[in-house]
A and B are shown apart, each in its own frame.
Chain A
């Protein structure tokens, strides 16, 4: 029963032209548009070192951690920044005359970031400042905890080496600024990441099509399925497998377009991209099943709601500019922690920007947990259901 449902659901999906358009053609058309829009812009902005200024105030003089970090980021063969250490007035002048993309001013513990526009370069500056602050906070936090732990054990002879070791262990698993790479930070790539995320979430329309077909309160086919001896859970899972295969083929086509026609440079982590896309597709399909089983609406409205959610999630994850992701990450981090599009794009950033495998794995697991939660709720809601009205 699992297989016959899988087989015919797959067949029905591949014969549904409207669904195929939204799943396969629409993301590729968007990809073409992004490619056309950003190709020239990127050529103009292609550079690897950014000019910035740092205000040398009292706080900066005392901040040895930040000084060391900035020294790292502005040295070597391919430095991220070229830094002018200057007064506030001079920094303002440099920014006004566009000699720098922005400047940083340390106020007590945190950086104030001054930029005149919201382009990719400025966003990178904001990210770096944010990462530096959080890394410093983390070191302080770990050190205090370690000291506290030793004191509670009655050991007042605290060894600095042990604390340093612990801090290094933790830093190794978190974002390392030295690993920040600009090789793959292009407008096209960033938009492609969010486009893949959006395409994954659009897979939810497949789920809604599937769920409409098996819900007795939505369609006559649903009534028919409800009187068959197949369990609702088996029905949903086998249909989900068919939907997953359909979706993965669509994402594969999108990736192929990006790689071979869309000038995308995904480096050598194609296996991880496929893995992330699969997890993202599962999240999109689960979201569709969840919306369909929890929200009481007709099928047209459910489709509209899902597309709205997908667009909103993609927007928050940076589809209309990476700045939005930064703003959300800074001001309302919980939103992007539960936003599947942000989990997907963050996974890509982890692969290509941060080169951080732990972060990538975390995003991957987050997507799987997100899917599992939504699926479980939906299955509980759908099993052995009788309706108040049909």
Chain B
């Protein structure tokens, strides 16, 4: 598969602050590429540099093999962008907003009409075509924002945290829509700090922190980076005494352990039968528990292990 984005040694500085520090990566045609990182990690700055909205000090950005610059109008035709902030006209209706932005790419009236309808179908806003934005809920407004950015059927779509502050129903609708667009052939660059979303929809992920790449690869590749293999959580009647915790901690396959608010979390290294071993131990010690369950490592665990902090910090 060809690369639709190639970034080499990108550096962006704001006076004293280096927001992006020698960033290099590629995005392939037809893939969903997740740009993951906490607030202030440089996700939006990276996106704005890719779109030539921001000047940058060093590096090279190519989109579909051509240098990206403010006057690259033919390239811009192939790109759709959904910004984090809702960017629509308060004075125009839902239909007019989509038609307006689609019209800046598509000249032919009939084609545009069909594209606007397709966008309305995709974000399920058919019942709201005559509404003005202020009459829409937060979730519906986000969907309109997406429709305005993708109605012209671009080959490459940038989505900057499109699900911030939306209800679960709208979030599911948005994620379904993104998968549909991808199935239709568009490559997608998806920035977010919601790791669950990235796990659901992204083919490849790049984790940013302080403007640097701390890891990139598929979900599986990233999870292989961490020593933790499994996390077992036990909900207890009361906190366990220190000597019991010390005994568990002394097991060779235990990577980490925590006891907080009657919840025991044990992170295990690679290996088998962790859950059953813990169950047997609790039974032998006559320690009652309400629930016990096992989870595989998440991207948050990857981020935690690589940076020592939570993704949403």
Partner among A213, A219, A221, A223 whose Cβ is within 8 Å of the Cβ of B53: A223
Q: Are the CB atoms of A389 and B92 closer together than 8 Å?
A: no
Instruction: Please state if B89 and A8 are interface contacts (CB–CB under 8 Å).
Output: yes
> What is the number of residues of chain B that contact chain A, defined by CB distance less than 8 Å?
35
Q: Can you list 13 A-B contacts (CB < 8 A)?
A: A4-B103, A15-B91, A216-B53, A223-B81, A224-B101, A224-B149, A225-B104, A227-B53, A228-B101, A384-B71, A385-B70, A388-B14, A390-B48
Q: Give the residues in chain A near B51, CB-CB below 8 Å.
A: 226-227
What's the Cα separation between A215 and B105 when bound, in Å?
19
Q: Are A8 and B88 in contact (CB under 8 A)?
A: no
Q: Within residues 10 to 53 of chain B, which ones have a CB less than 8 A from any CB in chain A?
A: 14, 48, 51-53
List A contacts of B73 (CB < 8 A): 229-231
- Judged by a CB distance under 8 angstroms, whether B285 is at the interface is no
Contacts of B83 in A (CB 8 A): 220, 223-224
Are B53 and A224 in contact, with the CB atoms below 8 A? Answer: no
Is the Cβ of B70 less than 8 Å from the Cβ of A384? yes
The distance in angstroms between the C-alpha atoms of A341 and B83, with both chains bound, is 41
Assess whether A386 is in contact with B70, with CB atoms less than 8 Å apart: yes
Which residues on B sit within 8 Å (CB–CB) of A229?
A: 73-74, 76-77, 104-105
- B221 close to A (CB within 8 Å): no
Please name the 6 residue pairs, one residue from A and one from B, whose CB atoms are nearest each other, closest first.
A4-B103, A15-B91, A220-B87, A220-B85, A12-B91, A229-B73
Residues in B neighbouring A145, C-beta threshold 8 A? none
- Output the least CB separation between A380 and chain B (Å): 14
Asked whether any CB of chain A lies closer than 8 Å to the CB of B55, the reply is yes
Q: Provided the pairs A12-B91, A229-B76 are in contact, do residues A387 and B53 lie with their beta carbons within 8 angstroms?
A: yes
Residues of A contacting B101 in the complex (Cβ-Cβ under 8 angstroms): 224, 228
Cβ-based interface call for A1 (8 A): yes
In the bound complex, what is the Cα–Cα distance between A178 and B57 (angstroms)? 68
Partner of A386, one of B54, B99, B103, B148: B54
Do B14 and A389 touch (CB < 8 A)?
yes
Min Cβ gap B10→A in Å is: 14
With A1-B107, A219-B87, A386-B53 known, 12 other A-B pairs at CB within 8 A are: A4-B100, A5-B104, A8-B96, A11-B92, A15-B92, A220-B84, A223-B48, A224-B81, A224-B101, A225-B104, A389-B54, A390-B53
How would residues 79 to 113 of chain B score, 1 for a CB under 8 Å from any chain A CB and 0 otherwise?
10101111111011000100111011101000000
Q: Give complex CA distance A388, B19 in Å.
A: 12
A219 to B53, CA, bound (A): 13
Q: When the two chains form their complex, are residues B54 and A387 in contact, meaning their CB atoms are under 8 A apart?
A: yes
Closest to A235 in B: B104
Smallest distance from the beta carbon of B132 to chain A beta carbons, Å? Answer: 8
Q: Which listed residue, B53, B69, B77, B96, touches A226 by the CB 8 Å rule?
A: B53
Does A16 make an interface contact (CB < 8 A)? yes
Cβ-neighbour of B87 out of A223, A386, A387 (below 8 A): A223
Write out the residue numbers on chain A whose beta carbons fall within 8 Å of the beta carbon of B103.
Answer: 1, 4-5, 8
In the bound complex, CA of A110 to CA of B104 (Å): 63
Residues in B with CB closer than 8 Å to A8 are 89, 92, 96, 99-100, 103
B100 and A390 contact, CB distance less than 8 A: no
Alpha-carbon distance A173/B187, docked complex (angstroms): 69
Q: Give complex CA distance A8, B99 in Å.
A: 9
Chain A, Cβ-Cβ closest to B97: A8
Cα–Cα distance between A1 and B112 once the two chains are bound (Å): 12
| Contact B86–A220 (Cβ < 8 Å) | yes
CB distance from A53 to the nearest CB of B (A): 62
Q: Choose among A1, A4, A11 the residue that contacts B91 (Cβ–Cβ < 8 A).
A: A11
- CA of A1 to CA of B105 in the docked complex: distance in angstroms? 8
| Bound-state Cα–Cα, A230 to B85, Å | 21
Point out the residues of chain A lying under 8 angstroms from B77, CB to CB: 229
Contact (Cβ within 8 A) A228 B52: no
Decide: A221 and B87 in contact? CB cutoff 8 A: yes
Complex interface: chain A residues within 8 A of B81 (CB): 223-224, 227
Q: How far is the CA of A11 from the CA of B89 in the complex (A)?
A: 10
Instruction: Specify which of A5, A228, A384 lies most central, judged by the most chain B CB atoms within 10 Å of its CB.
Output: A228
Q: Which residue of B lies closest to A15 (CB)?
A: B91
Q: Find chain B residues with CB under 8 A from A389 CB.
A: 14, 54
Instruction: Evaluate contact between A12 and B92: CB separation under 8 angstroms.
Output: yes
| Closest partner residue, chain B, to A386 (CB atom) | B55
Interface string of A334-357 (1 = CB under 8 A from B): 000000000000000000000000
A388–B55 CB distance below 8 A: yes
Q: Which of A1, A13, A16, A227 has the most CB of B within 10 A?
A: A227
